[in-house]
Amino acid sequence: MRVLLPPSETKRAGGDGPPVRLDLLCFPELEPVRKALLDELVELSADRESSRAALGLSPKQDAEIERNAALHTSPTLPAIDRYTGVLYDALDIGSLRGATAVRARHRLAIGSALFGLLRADDPVPAYRLSATAKLPGSASLAARWRPALEPVLAGIADHELVVDLRSGSYAALGRVPAAVRVDVLAEHPDGRRTVVSHFNKAHKGRLARALATTRAEPTDAAAVATVARRAGMRTERDGDDLIVVIPA
């Protein structure tokens, strides 16, 4: 089973690894797009106004542009340790030990607007590029990534179940038709259900932790639902997809 996480806008600074080596990252088929985007971000960082417009930043976030300027030389961290925020707090990968930690790091993968797809231990620098960014003079990131990324994702799905926890904009970078997708809905006292945002990330982080650490090897949506229920989550099936229901 492979659990596919979204990245986060917020990223831990620094690192103790050497500068990124694209040729050492997983899925070498993605290297041409990775290299092109990395070089474009470094070049774009020389123009702050253009960087702000392309990346959706305010002047108070110019430190993000400085991160991009240093992409070729800045230190790296394992991807699973680089990303921060609500989902990653709930996942709490740093609390895992021994065989459980090894299992989790093997199962977890991260979608990325800059790197396409990363395994948990792939070393990456801090950067700023969201799936909705529009780099000057180029096609959308989805248009650039799909031809390279979708065959890689299809190859993974041919051999193991993929549970896709990415948000819509990151899922658009490369679809996985056979994946189990997960939605989080809040149920109101009158029975209405609404989509949630903040708690969506927290509950997906909890689900990711349960799936990454279980000794079971789910092969379909029903088995994923069983793992979620054992972790105390209320779930329903929607065909091959899963709905996590939380109180409003």
Helix (H) or strand (E) holding 221: helix 221-230
| Average pLDDT of the segment spanning 62-73 | 97
Q: Which domain holds residue 101?
A: 2-247
Q: Closest Cα to residue 185, out of 175, 177, 195? A: 195
| Average pLDDT of the segment spanning 138-160 | 97
Rounded to whole angstroms, the Cα distance separating 158 from 26 reads: 17
Number of helices (H), then strands (E), in the chain: 10, 10
Concatenating the DSSP letter of every residue in 31-67 gives HHHHHHHHHHHHHHTT-HHHHHHHHT--GGGHHHHHH
HSE toward the beta carbon, residue 161, CA cutoff 13 A: 18
Rounded to whole angstroms, the Cα distance separating 190 from 66 reads: 49
Q: State what percent of residues in the chain have pLDDT above 70.
A: 100
What tens digit of pLDDT does each residue of 190-199 get?
999 998 877 8
Concatenating the DSSP letter of every residue in 84-101 gives -SHHHHHH-GGG--HHHH
Res. 234: pLDDT tops 80: yes
CA–chain centroid gap for 201, Å, is: 11
Q: Closest Cα to residue 88, out of 12, 141, 182? A: 12
Q: Closest Cα to residue 124, out of 63, 75, 70? A: 75
Res. 22: pLDDT tops 80: yes
Q: How many domains does the chain have?
A: 1
**83 in Cβ contact with 110 (< 8 Å):** yes
- The pTM score is 0.94
Res. 172: pLDDT tops 90: yes
Helix (H) or strand (E) holding 145: helix 141-157
| Average pLDDT of the segment spanning 24-52 | 97
For 46, counting Cβ atoms within 10 Å of its Cβ (0-12 exposed, 13-18 middle, 19+ buried), the class is exposed
Work out the pLDDT band at 56, boundaries 50, 70, 90: very high
Comparing 10-24, 74-88, 133-147, 193-207, the range with the smallest average pLDDT is 193-207
What tens digit of pLDDT does each residue of 73-121 get?
999 999 999 999 999 999 999 999 999 999 999 999 999 999 999 999 9
